[in-house]
Amino acid sequence: MENKNANISQILITEEEITNRVKEIAAKITNDYKNALKPPCMIGLLKGSYVFMADLLRLIDLPVEVDFIVVSSYGNEMIGSEVRILKDAFLSLEGRDIIIIEDIIDTGCTLEKICDHLKTRSPSSLKICTLLNKPSRRKVDIKIDYNCFDIDDLFIVGYGIDYAQKYRNLPYIGVVEK
């Protein structure tokens, strides 16, 4: 039988480490919004965020509303990337607290454009929650309100993050050999 994870050179963040950190972040979000008049809107960026978002939502001990955004970004580093929204959030966001759920923040360029887009819908607040953060790759200033892990500039997969649509189902974050 072929090893389905043959390209994984190491486990960077274990399933247990992820579980523990997601519990901590969920507790922070619960505390931050416990007195909110309306449930916060959790907006996941698909596809990579769905595993993290599902686990996080189940641990938040208050009502929340859920929606998703699908974007396509293309371009090159010299010119920058153009972000196209393929599926926008359906919920009414005016006067609402929004938390964007992201799998990984790299340069921050796509996320910056998504934040600018969501701000046009007049939310009362806009926060960012990410599983992984690569600060060494940042090209724009992004304030991360809830961050599970800072990582080095590695090519990673697992826990919703893919390589050619594979490895999303891994319960850990692994490093892929190029």
Active site residue 106: yes
How far from 114 is each of 61, 76, 108, 126, CA to CA, in Å? 27, 18, 10, 11
Q: CA 56, CA 79: separation in Å to the nearest integer? A: 35
Residue 55 CA to residue 10 CA, distance in Å, equals: 23
Active-site position among 32, 67, 88, 106: 106
CA-based max dimension of the chain: 55
Instruction: For strands 41-46 and 80-87, give the pairing.
Output: unpaired
**Residue 57 burial (C-beta neighbours within 10 Å; 0-12, 13-18, 19+):** middle
Contacts of 20 (CB under 8 A, 6+ apart): none
Rounded Cα–Cα distance for residues 170 and 47 (Å): 15
Q: What positions carry a catalytic annotation?
A: 106
